[in-house]
A and B are shown apart, each in its own frame.
Chain A
């Protein structure tokens, strides 16, 4: 927001000096900025993995993703049992599902193409 404002201000300042159509200049500036921007990485999975800053951050991310999956699975199972009185089966089943979801989270956070490379569309790269 602030950067935008400052850019506009500068634009106005220089526009006042040389004269000229403000919106046209803004558009040209926008196009120039667009051209100078590096091309975005192709797939979201690659984006996710390339945008992580360091190994430490990735490690923290992976561990918390896994733990959160198990916690949510356990919590859901507990609530399920509490509501329906199916103790202990809800907890067992949902804890296992939570474990699976945790592993899935970690795979996804590591940028592996887990959700895209599936049975049936092996030939499709992404």
Chain B
């Protein structure tokens, strides 16, 4: 009657499956390698015959360059352009991983918090290392806002430090939670269709969750783009703090 429970289990899709256990290669690592390969291939193929009037692929690659370059310039200034390679890599990596997760039977790498947390820590490590390299101890001025009366200064500094420490958490949790929740919701509603069809007469209601699943798929595509973009813009804002630590 009903499909095996593992097929209807909405969490099942996030299970890591070892492909080559000897070197710890799972399907997650495979998807990441595939994403890097896809991005490199697209960039290479687009720029192989770079023409003045761009073709479709070249147009996409150039537009993504312009888009990220504008984002970096707007949030971190012209000086932020030195971090452009980092920001562009992060954006394309997250975006392609999100979109690969939308392929049916695909695996969403960004729905694992350790991946998003590692990405966030790359950003925060860059911010801290570059901030100290460039400004020395002046970088700590980030935690000391100007114009605060002395007697509440310790409190404000403490709050600023906690606020700074919360950045990698909020950066990683946002991306991870969005992808996880979206894919669980999608799977649940898709599962309703199967269960209703298997339940006999009530199966007449099955178009309802089907319509919802279709709508959710569209929403998930939006979220895939949006979260990649939000990750990028916040990266730029944090990098801006490393470049200009004073408030």
A residues near B (Cβ < 8 Å) are 1-6, 9-10, 13-14, 37, 40-41, 44, 47-48, 51-54, 56-57, 60-61, 64-65, 67-69, 71-73, 76, 94, 97-98, 100-102, 104-105, 108, 115-116, 118-121
- The prevalent SS among residues of A at the interface is helix
Chain B neighbourhood of A53, CB < 8 A: 226, 229-230
Contact of B229 among A57, A101, A115 (CB under 8 A): A57
Knowing A40-B74, A47-B75, A68-B167, the reply to whether A3 touches B69 (Cβ < 8 A) is yes
Write the chain A residue with the least CB distance to B65: A3
Instruction: Give complex CA distance A116, B146 in Å.
Output: 8
Chain B neighbourhood of A64, CB < 8 A: 170, 173-174, 177
Most buried by A among B71, B149, B247: B247
Instruction: Give complex CA distance A25, B247 in Å.
Output: 39
Write the chain A residue with the least CB distance to B165: A72
Knowing A56-B226, A68-B170, A102-B166, the reply to whether A97 touches B69 (Cβ < 8 A) is no
Instruction: Give complex CA distance A73, B162 in Å.
Output: 6
- The prevalent SS among residues of B at the interface is helix
Most buried by A among B85, B146, B169: B169
Chain A neighbourhood of B69, CB < 8 A: 3
Asked if residues B173 and A68 are in contact (CB atoms below 8 Å), the reply is: yes
Size class of the B contact interface (CB-based, 8 Å): 35 or more
Chain A neighbourhood of B167, CB < 8 A: 68
Instruction: Give complex CA distance A111, B148 in Å.
Output: 20
Contact residues of B between 167 and 195, Cβ < 8 Å to A: 167, 169-170, 173-174, 177-178
Chain A neighbourhood of B163, CB < 8 A: 69, 101, 104-105, 108
Instruction: Give complex CA distance A105, B174 in Å.
Output: 14
Contact residues of B between 231 and 246, Cβ < 8 Å to A: 233-234, 237, 240, 244
- Apart from A47-B75, A51-B71, A94-B162, what are 19 other A-B pairs with CB-CB below 8 Å? A2-B62, A3-B69, A4-B65, A53-B230, A56-B222, A57-B230, A61-B170, A64-B173, A65-B170, A67-B170, A69-B162, A76-B165, A97-B158, A98-B162, A98-B166, A102-B166, A104-B163, A108-B163, A115-B145
Question: Is B97's CB within 8 Å of the partner chain A?
Answer: no
Write the chain B residue with the least CB distance to A8: B50
Asked if residues A101 and B50 are in contact (CB atoms below 8 Å), the reply is: no
Knowing A51-B71, A69-B163, A102-B166, the reply to whether A2 touches B47 (Cβ < 8 A) is yes
- Closest beta carbon of chain A to B36's beta carbon, Å: 15
Contact of A3 among B66, B148, B159 (CB under 8 A): B66
Instruction: Give complex CA distance A23, B52 in Å.
Output: 19
Asked if residues A44 and B162 are in contact (CB atoms below 8 Å), the reply is: no
Chain B neighbourhood of A108, CB < 8 A: 163
Chain A neighbourhood of B244, CB < 8 A: 44
C-beta contact mask, B44-67 vs A, less than 8 Å → 1, else 0? 001100101000001001100110
Asked if residues A116 and B71 are in contact (CB atoms below 8 Å), the reply is: no
Contact of B85 among A1, A41, A97, A100 (CB under 8 A): A1
Asked if residues A2 and B178 are in contact (CB atoms below 8 Å), the reply is: no
Write the chain B residue with the least CB distance to A6: B50
Chain B neighbourhood of A2, CB < 8 A: 43, 46-47, 61-62, 65
Question: Is B14's CB within 8 Å of the partner chain A?
Answer: no
